[in-house]
Structures are given as C-alpha cells and as structure tokens.
Structure 1
C-alpha cells in the first residue's frame, strides 16, 4: 500500500527525496596499541578526518556511524576520503567501511533520485 505524505511530512521524516545517507565503520586495532593508543587514534580521527569534512561520528572505539554534521547526506567522495585516511593509519590492523545507507531507516534501500550533498 502506497503512503501519500505531504512534502512537509516527508522532509520531517527524512524519506523519499529527503533521505539522508551515512555509513557504518568498524575498527580492529593492532594488539600492541593499548587503551592510550586507541584514545589517541580516536582523537586524531575526529580532529583530522571527521570534523574537517563537516561530518559527525557516533559510536565507540570499535564501531560507529558517520553522517553529515548538518541536514543532508554524506557524499561518496567523503566516504572514500575517510576510507583512504583509515588505510594510512598504523594503529589499525583492519577496518570496514559500509556502502552509503539510509541514516534514519537503515533497512530502507538508497533512493537513487534523492539529491546528494
């Protein structure tokens, strides 16, 4: 059954043309890093990779979600930039970066016609 919603309601619900995208991250650290090294990494990650790109990271030191710091969607270029930055970090034994996904309703498919940042 199709749901007919006003433009105002679609915007408030972040659906259809107002869908907002982000991506999931997970980190695996080298064994020798320790808690202090993980804390230092997370501070650098926030200060050098996330905040300068107008993004926000929500989560812990093992996994989390990145979305835009304002209303809108993370671009594929921003996602790729974060992935490239993570590849250069010596503290990480591995990491995973998900494809872009709906930030509000993760089970919903990405709407290819929605405008992107």
Structure 2
C-alpha cells in the first residue's frame, strides 16, 4: 500500500490513537457545581491538546491535531479524575485506534 493511501486511511505510521473514559459522578447538589465540574474537565482535556466526544459520563478522547494520543495523555486524564472527590468508578480504556478501533 502506498504512503499516500496509508496517510489518507490513517494506517501504520499515520495511525491515530485515543481512549474511552467512563466514570460515575455523585450528585452535586446544584447546577452551578455540575457545570463547574464539567468546565474543569474540559479545561484538563484541552490543556493536553485533546478533544472529547460522546456522552457525559462515557466519552472518547482523541487528539485535536494529526498527532496521536499517548499513554501520558491517558494517565493525565485518569489521574485528574481520580483526584476529584465527586467522581467514582473511573474506567479509562487502553489506547485504541481512533479511526478503526472498537469502542466500548
């Protein structure tokens, strides 16, 4: 397969990785606390040059450019979630192919 086609299909050296995140969020008591939590989560994701998409407590994280997510990116999000007192049952999947992988 030619390099141009591999790049277009995001294969081999052009593969882009990402990971799934699932967690339980405790009742926060007010809309303001709820939105504050999500603002902080989005800030952490964007500070690592990542993007998130999907549901509220179950989403996929990929990169915001043609780079790939790394194990360090995955650990940064997982560590931050574990540090939040309102979050429990954190499950961060291993890195998977963001374009051709299976997502859970």
Q: TM-score, normalised by structure 1?
A: 0.79
SS in structure 2 of the partner of residue 58 of structure 1? strand
Give the structure 2 partner of residue 20 of structure 1.
16
Q: Determine if the alignment matches structure 1 residue 53 to structure 2 residue 43.
A: no
Distance 1:43 1:29 in 2: 14
Q: Is the 8 A contact 1:27 1:61 kept in 2?
A: no
1:34 Cα deviation from its structure 2 partner: 4.9
SS in structure 1 of the partner of residue 91 of structure 2? strand
Q: TM-score, normalised by structure 2?
A: 0.88
Corresponding residue pairs, total:
101
SS in structure 1 of the partner of residue 40 of structure 2? helix
1:43 aligned to which of 28, 39, 45 = 39
1:9 aligned to which of 5, 21, 24 = 5
Distance 1:72 1:17 in 2: 11
Give the structure 1 partner of residue 62 of structure 2.
67
Give the structure 1 partner of residue 84 of structure 2.
89
1:46 Cα deviation from its structure 2 partner: 0.5
Distance 1:35 1:25 in 2: 24
Q: Is the 8 A contact 2:18 2:62 kept in 1?
A: yes
Give the structure 1 partner of residue 97 of structure 2.
102
**CA shift in 2, pair 1:39/1:73, >3 Å:** same
Distance 1:93 1:99 in 2: 19
SS in structure 1 of the partner of residue 84 of structure 2? coil
Could you say which structure has the larger radius of gyration?
A: 1
1:91 Cα deviation from its structure 2 partner: 1.5
